[in-house]
């Protein structure tokens, strides 16, 4: 279902804001990733993302 959507991204030069909890999908499709906690961005990095970025802050 997502492959045709991201195929259009390449053909038309489009960008997407994709909100997802499935890191397998994020790793497959994302160029950049931002991690949010309680409505605030707590980390941002180019994909593939290190799991350190996703660890909860203590």
pLDDT at 58: 45
Give the number of domains in the chain. Answer: 1
Domain carrying residue 39:
16-58
pLDDT range class, residue 7, cuts 50, 70, 90: confident
Q: Is 25 domain-assigned?
A: yes
* Residue range 10-40, pLDDT digits in tens: 888 888 888 888 878 887 888 888 888 888 9
Would the pTM count as exceeding 0.75? no
In a domain, 5, yes or no: no
56 within a domain of the structure (yes/no): yes
Concatenating the DSSP letter of every residue in the chain gives -HHHHHHHHHHHT-------S-HHHHHHH-SEEEEEETTEEEEEEESSPPHHHHSPP-
DSSP alpha helix (H) spans, 13-50: 23-29
44 found inside a domain:
yes
26, part of any domain: yes
């Amino acid at each position: 279902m997502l492959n045709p959507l991201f195929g259009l991204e390449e053909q038309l030069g489009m960008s997407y804001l994709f909100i997802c909890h499935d890191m397998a999908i994020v790793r497959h499709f994302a160029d950049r990733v931002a991690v949010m906690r309680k409505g605030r961005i707590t980390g941002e990095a180019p994909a593939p993302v290190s799991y350190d970025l996703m660890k909860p802050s203590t």
